[in-house]
Structure formats: structure tokens, C-alpha cells
Amino acid sequence: MKANRLSLAVGLLVAGMAPVAAQELSIGLKSEATSMDPQFHNLATNTQVNKNIFESLTTQSSVQKITPGLAESWEAVDDTTWRFKLRQGVKFHNGSDFTARDVIYSFCRVPLVQNSPSSYTIYTGDIADMEAEDDHTLLIRTVDKNPLLPVNLWPLAIVSADALGAEDTVTYGPEGTCEGMGEVPQAPAFNDPDIAVGTGPYKLENYTRGAELVLSRFDDYWGGTPDWERVVMRPITSNGPRVAALLAGDVDMIESPPIQDISRIDDAGFNIVDALSNRVIYLHLQQLADAPGIGGTDGKNPLMDKRVREAISLSINRDAIAERIMGGYAEPAGELLPPPMFGTSGRAVDPYDPERAKELLAEAGYPDGFTLNLGTPNDRYINDEQVAQAVAQMMARIGINTTVDATTASQFFSRRNALEFPIYMAGWGAASGEMSSPLKALVATFDADTGMGATNAGRYSNPEMDKVLIEAMSTIDEGQRDELLQKAETIALDDYGIIPLHYEQTVWAMKPELTYEPRMDQYTMAREVKPTTTE
Amino acid sequence: MTLSTSNTPVRIDSPGRRIVKQFIEDPVAVVGLVLFVLVALIAVAAPWIAPQNPYDLAQLDIMDSSLAPGESNFMTGQIYWLGTDQQGRDMLSAIMYGLRISLLVASISLGLAITIGTIVGVAAAYFGGRLDSFVMRVVDLQLSFPAILIALILLALLGRGVDKVILALVIVQWAYYARTVRSSAIVERRKDYIDAARCLALSDRRIMFRHLLPNCLPPLIVVATVQIAQAIALEATLSFLGVGVPITEPSLGLLIANGYDYLLSGVYWISLFPGIALVVTIVAINLVGDRLRDVLNPRLQK
Amino acid sequence: MIVYLVRRLGQSILAIIAMAVLVFAGVYFIGNPVDVLINPEATQAEILATTQRLGLDKPLYEQFGIFIWNALHGDLGTSFVYGRPALEIILERLPATMELAVVALILSVGIGIPLGIWAGLRPNSLSGKTIMGGSILGFSLPNFWQGMLLILIFAVLLGWLPAGGRGETRAFLGMQVSFLTWDGLSHLLLPAINLALFKMSLIIRLTRANTREVCLQDYVKFARAKGLAGRRIVLVHVLKNIMIPVVTIIGLELGSMIAFAIVTETVFAWPGMGKLLIDSINLLDRPVIVAYLMLTVLIIVSINLMVDVIYSLLDPRIRLSEMKG
């Protein structure tokens, strides 16, 4: 507190002398990045932090539109070849120039990162070859037709080939067969600011695990002088203390204040911003004859009956959940991605109609309902455990007696993947910002060979939908792809193969002197926090 | 080691009456006892006196969620004296049922831990030798580790559930009783009446449980009152850390944990009232235990 | 004494091994950490590849064998989450927890013993009863609830102290500590009080009980009868006689404080190893969980050993070889 007042006083003094904002920005985050290596752990928590230090060829705007980043422009030469024009005059933090060599080195390093709990190879695996036509022109060839290449490049951070000890020429080879890589530094080395060198607006100054991450301004940033002299990010994982830290003035801004505290924070004069996110919360119903956790049906799986699935959807009062449990910070969902994002059809939200739901249950041969076990994580999504209980409450009203099996995310995901839940609640945030992401992962028929349906733990399968989706995924033409994705989604939702509940809204709270343009991908990016007063 | 080992002659007048007489001399302890009896009665009678069954999801309505104390259900007009939680659960009912779960978990684990601890402790003291030294090694080793750490790890491995919490509490508590019983039994064993019983060729089991055990009861009772309060607090802490009882059947600890996120936002009743209920329960037990310790300690009797 | 120490050490090693086996197998059965660590967009093949990379596809006994082999070479495994040696990650957090525990211990002893003696000498006075009543309350309030109330009162309502985090640290004897700066100290105060209150109550009760017993001893009565000043009796006799049980308690409680720090650190976002344990359990980061437990067991065992040695120094009548351990 005292130090804070002091820094404020110093800030005022400096502000009096130089018009450039010279203050410090401190942010309370709800989770901590696991490493400073931007290629170590492919996870939102890490991405939102390392995007301040490192940049990518493409950038995603706050509404998930792909815009130029370190690449000024790009074009598809043919179905599998893309040409990228790299930005000129970009400097790394260590003073070296940004060239095509850095890009090739960065993509080459991805499969060479050891012990990665979630590798970035899911974005580079499709790259067959890379070729530098000159220092600032790059050809990328993909194995298959991949309309999403520019989207996939956004998570791939560009590191400095010089700082990491590459040779003068780096030649691309798929799956870790690059040449000229030198000795590749591993993730722990990135705690050293001389290794964690990017092109971003902020430089790594100091990283104390569990306590704070300090960034300082990079004066030669190509995009103009960054707003803050110093940025401090502190992980405060408990909700209450995070809010308290904001109210007490320990931090200037926090992400994800608990919904119930928002009005209080607002009353205290803080600035609240919020926006619809790309994350849909959904129910998945197991479509295997021997589903566990179902009682009162003589061993049959009632969820295989479309009428029962429809009844469950109609039994849920989505407005009440959005209002009561989510405090208004959610929107009832009729699709897997909020419209008007790419591939959405504007489909209406299922109505709340418990009477019709009971009729459907009776028609399906379950007039007295049955019992069901609903799985949910309790520390993953906003008020997840509460939402699941409310869903159970509503299903109980139409005769489906539901018990809630809430566990921590670690146990939930393992048990879900082992198909232990007849019905489960989870969330999906489309990192690509378009419809193929949820369809491919959640609804497509599970197939380990093609990578389809990887998160389809209900094992829903609809060959008709699969066919349309696969066609969409290899269609480069935007208009045609949009149409195909809408068609595929409609097939799945008409069949109640998955039941969307609501889209989460993401909230940030900050001092009134600050503004933040809310991001659909729920990222908190220090580089986008701006002071309101510029004089 | 602070336990008394003096050889006060056995009193002729009924020890029970003396204890009761001395106990009621302290009004604070009596208040504690009355409170505890009240709390226990509420817990036992919860299904009959609670306005609502908070575990029956069909009786809840989220349209009633987070109502302040004194507001009423707009459909039935039922008044929520202590407000409702996020699920529209009547807090008064939830506290009554939560008390029930908390006391149930604590007393079942207490019963099991005492039984196991007593059998092990008496046997160790009576038979002595290798059995004794082995048992005491295990006990000392276990007691040197903090109960909360052992319970936390156990529950993280076992998952949520009332039965699992009970198991964890028994595992962390039996050693206290084993040590207590053993240390007083070892003193009693050297006394003449045990030798006399042996001369009568009574069976080992009979000597242990009919003759040895009753004389070890006073310290056991004192330890038990401390431990039951500890067990309730431990269960609450474990539920707070997310490894306790399941969410649909909340104990007092879980109710507090659920309301914890709302404490700063002005929706104080979800966390505050269960917190008060928990503290009252534990304080009442501790007051009783405190007085019992004084009354049952023969050295402080003069 | 040597025999005693060796035997004691042997038992401790057994305890550590038992703990390692239990936790290792337990975490193995809970789930696959890859399920929670991996990016949701990953395909089945990538999940499998990651599982293999972390060595989690091998049968349990083989994983355990590798672990034991490495442990014997001083390597407790590499964190699944951080990709760095588990021990290194924990040792980074150790100073924060130790600082918290030691400050809390000093608070609880420094305040607990005088209050306990006071209450023991005047068991029926108003002040004595108030102290005892307060200690029952401190003893009964669950730790986490107490912490939240402290934040609510001192950080939010009054705004005197920060709500969480560690604040500024300085290097001291090669460790980063908070107590050398005002900012660090202000962050340390609330969590230290939170951690201390329970133990303080315990120490008050223990000291009071012992003081009362000692007061009834013949030599104290005799001293009193001889007309020695009350204060001298207390200082010389009572203090000397309650030292042994108090040292024991302090020793045992330091270990339990490290464990209870889990709760305090969670409430106050204190970056110590208790917080790390909870996070690691949630992420199924098995190497860190196992390493934490082994380190904690080691700390507790060494403290117990030290207590025993101090014990024998304080009271020559107790010989270590006679103690069952």
C-alpha cells in the first residue's frame, strides 16, 4: 500500500515532466503461466502472458478476426502453398533484425521442446516445408489443403534465432528434422531475459514463480512506444483475495472477478468491461448402449432416443441459469459458437417447455423418468458446479432424477475420457473463432486415426454430419465453407447430438483510469490495456 | 506426558455423581453442555423440523436463489428466515442438515477411531513386549505428521464422499486414542487388582476390557472431546479445500466454502450463518471438554 | 545415543518410502495428467504422443522403478507442468513457507506463553477467564474462515493491510525474505496472524495447565511459604518446569504449521509450497506432489530429532536411548 502510494507519487511527478505515460501497470491474474517459453505449454494461461513478449506472423483481434502481425500480408499461391510477406524493420529485444530465418527457426523448435505437457505441434504438424525466398518473403507448404493456416499461425510465437544460438542458415524439415538449429535451449532457460527474446512491446525483466512476473517497456517496438514503463502480473488464484487486492489498491486490474462481486466493485467506482466469449457451455450425452450411471430403465440407455435428448434440452430454463446462476453474465446458447461468428446460422435457442418435455419422455416410454449421473468439473468454468446443480434441478422436475458428480478438472477430464459419465457438462472455446473447431472436436465421430471427435466423449456419431464437415474443412473458398459449416452444425443440433446451454461472458475490472477492449478469447493481454487520459 | 499417574486411592462414593456435581459448578461449562445438546437435537431431528429437504433437488428452485434472510418464496409464501443460497436452497434447512452431516461424520469417525485405538492401546499395554513397541512406533510415527496433511493426501487420492471423509478421519485419529489408552493402561496394569484378576484365571480379554479399560476412561473422554471438535473443524477445512463431502449433500464446512465466494459481495448469509453454527458447535464441545478435563484430573481436585 | 539416532533415521526412511509408494500409486489411479494439461484442440494421436513423452504410458511398476532409480541418484523427477526438476520448484517456494511458519511460531510463543502463565496463576480472575475464553474461540474458529474474516476486516473494511500476495522481498542469507522491508512486512502480517492464532490458543492452554500443576507442586508451595516474591517463583520454577512440554509442542507444531500453511497460503495467495501442493494436486503433477511430501517428511523428522536432543539437554534425567521413538 505504502509502496503503491509512493509509486503513484513518483508517477505524478514524472507525468508532470514528461507527457508520455510512465506509470506502472499491475494486473491480478486468476492463473499462472507455467513457463516463460512460448513454445512449451500450449495453454491460454501461457499464451496471454507470452503474447506481450513474443509475437506471431498473424494476430487475432479482440473479436477473433485474423489480422497482420509480423507478416504484413499473405496469399494462397495454390491449394497447399502460401506466400507470406514479412514486416520490415522489426527488431528483437536484443537488437537483432527479424527475418525469415527466425520464423523457420521458431517453427523448427516446436517439436524439439522437451517434456511439453501440451505441444504446439498441433499447429506445425501440417507444415510440409518452409522456404525463404528472401529475408522477408516466406513460402509455407502444407501437407493437406488447410484453409485455417493463417489462424493456426497466431499461437506460434516467433523467438529469436540469434538469442537461442542458431546457425547462420536454418533449413526446414518436418517433425524435428531441421538443420542448422545449434544447441536448442529448453524451457527452463527462458527465465533468463537474454534467452526470452521476442519482438513484442514488453521485455521480460524478472519472473518469480508464484509471486510475480515483471515486464519492462521495449523502446524500439515497431508498433510505436508501448503505454507502460513497467508491467507487473501477479497470479492471485483465489477469487476473494483477487477482488480484495483490486479494492485495496494492490493491483490496478483483475481478470474474471467472481460474478457476485461485480456490482460491489462497480459501486466502488471501478471500471467494468465485459464481452461475450467464444466459450459455449454444453451437455454431452453418451450414445453407447452400455452407458454407466443410468438407473430405472432395465439396462437400456434412454439417451439413445432422440425424443429423450430433446426432452432434456426443453427441460432446461436457460434464461434462469443466465440470470440467476451467472448473474446476467452469460447468454443462452442455441449454437456451438455465438453468432455472428464464422459458420453460425443464427439458430434460435431451444425454448423452456417442461410440459412438452414430459410428453416427449412419455412418448419415448419413460413416463416415470429414470435416474442419471451428471458429471461436471468444479474449478474450470464460471460457476460450473452451480450451473450443473441447476441443470440437475430442472431435469428432476420432468422426472429425470439427477445426481451431480462434481470433481476437480483433473479428475473430471480423466473420468470423462474414460466414458464414466452418461451425461456431462463441459465448455468449449473455439480458439480459431470459427465453427469447424467445435464440430470437429465435439460432434464428429470419434476416430483416433484422423483426429476427429477427440473430445466427443459422448461418442455421438452422425455420418451425414461427418461428410459435410470434412468437405468444409478442405474448402478454401470462404463463402462456401461458411455455408457447409452451417449445414453441418444444423444436422447435429437438429438431432440433439449435443445440447448447448450458454455462452460465457468474460469480465475484467480495473481502476477508472484504465480501459481494456474485452476479448472474445478471454485473454488478458497487458499490451492492450490503455490509460483513459492521454494528455 | 501431562497425564496424571498418581496413585490416589479409589473413592468409595460414586465417581459419576462427584463428576456431575463438580461439572455443574462451572456455569460456562453448563452453557456449553446445553448448547451442545441443543445442536445435537437439531441435527438428529433435522428431517422432521427443517422447512425443506435441501438435498431433494426437485424441491429447490433457482428462481429463489440468493434471497436475503426474511424474504419469502413468491409461489408458496414460505419464509426463508436465514435466506437462500445460489441454488435457492433454504439456508435454515441446509444448516440443520449440514449440522447433521458434520456431526454424523465426526461421531462415526470418533466411534470407529476410539474402538480401534482402544483395542490397540489396551492390547499393547496388556501384552507389552514386541507388540507394544511395534504399536507405539507406528503411533509415534503417525502422530509426528500433521493430521491435515495426511487427510488431504488421502482424500485427494480417494475422491469425494461421506464414507471417504470418515475413513480419512479414522485414519488420522485412531493413534491419539491408542496412545492415550496405552499410557493409562500401562499404569493400571501394574496394580494389584489386575494381578488378583490374573490369579483368578480370568481370560485375557475379560481382564483387558472389564478391568483394565474402565480405569482408562477419564483421559479417554478428555481426549475424545478435544478430538471430536478437531474432527468437525478438520472436515470443514477439507471440504473448504475441495476434497470433502459431495456438493449435493453439503456439510457445514462445505456450506461455508460455497458462501465464501459471496462473503465480500454482501451476500453474507450463505457463509456467515453456517460459520456461526460451526463455531457454536465447536465452542460448545470445547467448553464441555475443558471442564471435563479439570474435573477428571485428580491432581487438581484439592 | 548413536544407536537411538540410527534407529530413528531408519524408521523415518521407511515412512518416506511408504508415503512415496502410496502417493505414487494413488495419483496414478486418479487420472492421466495429460487429460488436464493438454490443449483441448489436440487430437487423439497428440494426446497419446504427450502421454508417451511424459513416460505415463508405461505400467505402474515400471514408472515406479524409474522413479526409485532416479531418486537414488538424487533426482526426484521432472514436473509435468513446468518441465523442470520437481525439487527445484519446491525449494524455490520453501523460503516463503518457512518464513511464514517461523514468524507465526514466534508470534504464538511470544504471546501464548505469557498469557498462559498469567491465566494459570489467576485461574479464577476475570483476566484469566477472558484469556481462556479467547483461547477457546481461537481454537474453535476454523483456520480458513478466520483468514477470510481477517481479510474482510483489515484489508477491505479498514484498508490497513494488503489482502494477499508476498510483497517486496530482499535477499537475506541467500534467501528471499519479506520481513526486512515495510511492504514485505505488511504482506506478512495477516497470514502470520492467521497461522499463529490456532497454535497460540494451544500454547496458552498448555502453559496454563502446566502452570497450574506446577503451582500445586510442593517445592513451589514451599518457595511461597519461604516468602519468595511471586514473580520470582513464576520465573524460576514455573518457567523452568514448563519448558520441556513447551519445547516439544513448539517442535511438533512447527511441522504442523508447515502443513497448515496449505490453508493459509490458499486464502492469502501466499506463494509458498502449500499453495504449490494444492495446485499440483489439481493438475495431477505427480513428481511435485511426491517431492513435496518427501521434503515435508524430511523436515518434520529432522525437527522431531532436534526436539529430542534439546529435550535431553534441558532435562538430563531423560536419556535418549530409553525413549521410544
Per-residue confidence band for C235, with pLDDT thresholds at 50, 70 and 90 = low
pLDDT tens string A219-245: 999 999 999 999 999 888 878 778 888
Contact C37 A117 (CB under 8 A): yes
pLDDT tens string A169-216: 999 998 889 999 999 999 989 989 999 999 999 999 998 877 789 999
Neighbours of chain A (3+ CB pairs under 8 A): B, C
Q: Which of C31, C36, C41 sits opposite A122 (nearest CB)?
A: C41
Q: Which of C30, C260, C325 sits opposite B146 (nearest CB)?
A: C260
Which of A49-58, A122-131, B236-245, C158-167 comes out lowest in average pLDDT? C158-167
Q: How many CB pairs under 8 A join A and C?
A: 187
B268 — contact with chain C (CB < 8 Å)?
no
pLDDT of residue A1: 38
How far apart are alpha carbons B84 and B95 in whole angstroms?
11
Domains of chain C: 1-85+285-325 (no CATH), 94-271 (1.10.3720.10)
pLDDT tens string B129-143: 888 888 888 887 777
Q: Which of A383, A390, A407 sits opposite B160 (nearest CB)?
A: A407
The answer to the question of residue B273 being in a domain is yes
pLDDT of residue B51: 87
Per-residue confidence band for B147, with pLDDT thresholds at 50, 70 and 90 = confident
How far apart are alpha carbons C47 and A379 in whole angstroms?
22
Of the two residues A334 and C140, the one the predictor is more confident about is: A334
Q: Strands of A324-415 (E only): list them.
A: 330-332, 370-377, 400-407
pLDDT tens string B104-127: 999 999 999 999 999 998 888 888
| A12 pLDDT higher than 60 | no
pLDDT tens string A409-426: 888 998 899 999 999 999
pLDDT tens string A360-410: 999 999 999 999 999 999 888 999 999 999 999 999 999 999 999 988 888
Residue range A24-31+201-273+506-531, CATH number: 3.40.190.10
3-state secondary structure of C167: coil
Contact B253 C259 (CB under 8 A): no
pLDDT tens string A440-493: 999 999 998 888 999 999 999 999 999 999 999 988 888 999 999 999 999 999
Of the two residues A248 and A61, the one the predictor is more confident about is: A61
How many degrees, rounded to 5, is the angle at CA A219 between CA A218 and CA A224?
A: 100
Contact B265 A260 (CB under 8 A): yes
Residue C220, C-beta contacts closer than 8 angstroms, at least 6 positions apart:
C214, C233, C237, C238
B282 — contact with chain C (CB < 8 Å)?
yes
Q: Which of B159, B247, B263 sits opposite A378 (nearest CB)?
A: B247
Contact A199, A158 (CB under 8 A): yes
Return the CATH number at B238: 1.10.3720.10
How far apart are alpha carbons C301 and C322 in whole angstroms?
19
**Max CA pair span of chain A:** 80
Per-residue confidence band for A93, with pLDDT thresholds at 50, 70 and 90 = very high
Of the two residues C88 and C219, the one the predictor is more confident about is: C88
- Number of structural domains (chain B) is 1
The string of DSSP letters for C191-240 reads HHHHHHHHHHHHHHHHHHHHHHHHHHSHHHHHHHHTT--HHHIIIIIIHH
How far apart are alpha carbons B254 and B261 in whole angstroms?
12
pLDDT of residue B181: 86
How far apart are alpha carbons C301 and A162 in whole angstroms?
49
Residue C171: count of CB within 10 angstroms of its CB: 9
Query: In the CATH hierarchy, which fold is given to the domain comprising A54-186?
Result: Dipeptide-binding Protein; domain 1 (3.90.76)
The answer to the question of residue B20 being in a domain is no
pLDDT of residue C187: 87
pLDDT of residue B302: 39
Task: Measure CA C202 to chain center.
Answer: 15
3-state secondary structure of A192: coil
pTM of the model: 0.84
CATH 3.10.105.10 fits A277-504, yes or no: yes
Of the two residues B262 and C1, the one the predictor is more confident about is: B262
pLDDT tens string A342-353: 999 999 999 999
| B2 pLDDT higher than 80 | no
Residue ranges, comma separated, of all CATH 3.10.105.10 domains in chain A are: 277-504
How far apart are alpha carbons A476 and A145 in whole angstroms?
8
| A6 pLDDT higher than 50 | no
How far apart are alpha carbons A396 and A312 in whole angstroms?
10
A385 — contact with chain B (CB < 8 Å)?
yes
How far apart are alpha carbons C239 and C252 in whole angstroms?
19
pLDDT of residue C149: 82
The answer to the question of residue B151 being in a domain is yes
3-state secondary structure of B171: helix
The cell numbers describing B250, all together, are: 453439503
How many degrees, rounded to 5, is the angle at CA B228 between CA B138 and CA C116?
A: 90
pLDDT tens string A138-165: 999 999 888 899 999 999 999 999 999 9
Q: What is the mean pLDDT of chain C?
A: 80
pLDDT tens string A17-44: 333 445 899 999 998 888 999 999 998 8
**What average pLDDT does range C224-236 have in this prediction?**
66
Per-residue confidence band for B4, with pLDDT thresholds at 50, 70 and 90 = very low
**What average pLDDT does range A39-50 have in this prediction?**
91
The cell numbers describing A476, all together, are: 478454401
Give B90-94 contacts, CB < 8 A, sequence gap 24+.
B90/B50, B90/B51, B90/B52, B90/B54, B91/B255, B91/B269, B91/B270, B91/B273, B91/B274, B92/B50, B92/B51, B93/B46, B93/B50, B93/B51, B93/B52, B93/B53, B93/B54, B94/B54, B94/B250, B94/B255, B94/B274
How far apart are alpha carbons B132 and C95 in whole angstroms?
40
The answer to the question of residue B3 being in a domain is no
Q: By residue range, what is the domain housing residue B183?
A: 35-300
ipTM score for this prediction? 0.79
The answer to the question of residue B4 being in a domain is no
Contact B200, B213 (CB under 8 A): no
Q: How buried is residue C169: exposed, middle or buried, by Cβ count under 10 Å (0-12/13-18/19+)?
A: buried
How far apart are alpha carbons B244 and B168 in whole angstroms?
10
Dihedral over Cα of A183, A187, A192, A198: its sign: positive
How far apart are alpha carbons B292 and C11 in whole angstroms?
36
pLDDT of residue C234: 63
**What average pLDDT does range B189-193 have in this prediction?**
75
